[in-house]
Amino acid sequence: MKVVFCWSGMSGYMAACWRALARVQEVDTSLFVLWWSMPWAKSVTDGLPDFHRINQKESMDGAFIEDSVAQLKPDVVVLCGWSAPAFSRLPFCERLRDVKFVMGMDTPWRGGWRQKLARLRIGRLVDRMDAVFVASERAWQYARHLGVPEAKIHRGVYGVDCLTFRPVYDQRLALEGGWPRRFLFVGRYDDEKGIDVLLESYKRYCSMVSDPWPLACCGSGPWAERIAQAEGVRDLGFVQPGDLGAVFAKHGVFVLASRYEPWGVVIAEATAAGLPVICTESCGASIDLVRSLYNGMTVATGDAHGLARAMLWMHENHARLPEMGLRSQQRASAYSAEAWAERWAYVFHELCP
C-alpha cells in the first residue's frame, strides 16, 4: 500500500510517528513536508522514508505538487488540514480521482461565526475525505459541524516519541537532591502562548514564597527580551527535538499558559517524560492528558492568579510530584508514536482492504 503524507510543517514528534509507521509491514510511506521557517536540525529527518522537503516557492506551485504526488501512484493521500492551497487541490485532480483521501485536523470547535460558516468555504473538500483524524474532543465536535459523519472520524492525529522520553523519569529521580524544584515552559514566545500571563503568574507566585523555584523557558519569538529580563526566569532559547529530553530531566513541573492551543503536543511530550503539568483550559490536550491534583492542574485561560496558585500548590506539595509524574507517563502511553502508527495503519487498511 502506497501512502503519501502532505504535511504543513516539520516537527520532532511527527518524525517519530512517521518512523514508526515506516516499520509497519505493507505500508510504503512518502512524505511531502512544507519546511522553511523553524530552524530544525537536519538530523530530525534521519531515518524518514522517501522524504521531500517543499520550499516556499514550490508550495505555491500547484502543478508541481500535483505532478510530484501523482507520479508516486498512491493508494492513500493524507492532508494536514486545509491551510495549504497546493495540497487542498489534490483531492480534485483527475489523476488522483481513484485515490483515498485522509485529513488530519486539530482545530477545536469554538462556536464563532467564522467556524459556523466554514462549511460554505471548505465543505466540498471535507466531503471528498474518506477519513478524518482529529486531535481532541473539541476537534471532533468541529468535524461534526463541518458535516463529517461519525463513521469517518478517528481520534489521534498526533503521537509523540514516548520511547525517547520514557527514561527521563528515572533520570530525574536519580538526580542529586531528588526531584527538581524548577518550572519549565516550552513553546513559541508569543501572545498566543500567553507569555505575558506566564510571567505575571510567576511574579505573583514568587511573592507568595520565600524560596521560589526558578522558571526556564525554551523557544523563540517576540517575547524573548521580556523573558530574559524577568527576575528568576532563564531563557534557554530554541531547543532541538533531540535535546528536549535532557531539558525535561532537569525540571520538576511543566507549565503552559496558552490562550489558544488546538491540542498541545508539548503537553504529551512533557507527560511522556513523567512531568506533572499545569496548563490552561484552552489546551485541547488538557482533556486527554491532564487531571487536576492527579497528574497536574488545569486553570482558567488568562487567569494569572489561578496559575500562580497552581504553581504554589506544586511548590507546597513537592513530595507528591514523583507520583504525579508517573501518572503522567501512564496517560501519555496511549499517544506513543507506535500507538499512532497502529491507529493510522488500521484506517489505511480499512480504506484499501
Distance of CA 266 to the CA centre of its chain: 6
Closest Cα partner for 307 from 179, 181, 196?
Answer: 196
CB neighbour list of residue 47: distance below 8 Å, 6 or more residues apart: 19, 22
pLDDT number for residue 44: 83
What value, to the nearest 5°, has the Cα angle with vertex 205 and ends 201 and 206? 120
Closest Cα partner for 20 from 351, 339, 353, 349?
Answer: 339
Cell of 293: 491534583
CB neighbour list of residue 10: distance below 8 Å, 6 or more residues apart: 33, 35, 38, 40, 44, 45, 53
Cβ contact 119:147 at 8 Å: yes
Task: Report the DSSP beta bridge partners of residue 217.
Answer: 185, 235
Cβ contact 30:4 at 8 Å: yes
Closest Cα partner for 101 from 119, 118, 124, 117?
Answer: 124
Strand order through the sheet with 100-105 = 51-54, 28-34, 2-7, 76-80, 100-105, 131-134, 153-155
Distance CA 162, CA 333 (A): 7
Q: Per-residue pLDDT for the chain (353 aa), expressed as one digit of tens each? A: 999 999 988 889 999 999 999 999 889 999 999 987 667 777 888 889 899 999 889 988 999 999 999 999 999 999 999 988 889 999 999 999 999 999 999 999 999 999 999 999 999 999 999 999 999 899 999 999 999 999 999 999 999 999 999 999 999 999 999 999 999 999 999 999 999 999 999 999 999 999 999 999 999 999 999 999 999 999 999 999 889 999 999 999 999 999 999 999 999 999 999 999 999 999 999 999 999 999 999 999 999 999 999 999 999 999 999 999 999 999 999 999 999 999 999 999 999 98
Strand order through the sheet with 183-186 = 233-237, 215-218, 183-186, 253-256, 277-280, 296-299
What are the residue boundaries of the structural domains of the chain, listed by start?
2-159+336-351, 162-334
Give the three-state DSSP class for 41.
coil
162-334 folds as Rossmann fold (3.40.50)
Q: Does the structural domain 2-159+336-351 have CATH classification 1.20.1250.20?
A: no
Quickly count: other Cβ atoms within 10 Å of residue 207's Cβ. 9
Q: What is the DSSP letter of 103?
A: E
Closest Cα partner for 216 from 249, 190, 170, 264?
Answer: 249
What is the SS3 string spanning 105-148?
ECCCCCCCHHHHCHHHHHHHHHHHCCEEEECCHHHHHHHHHCCC
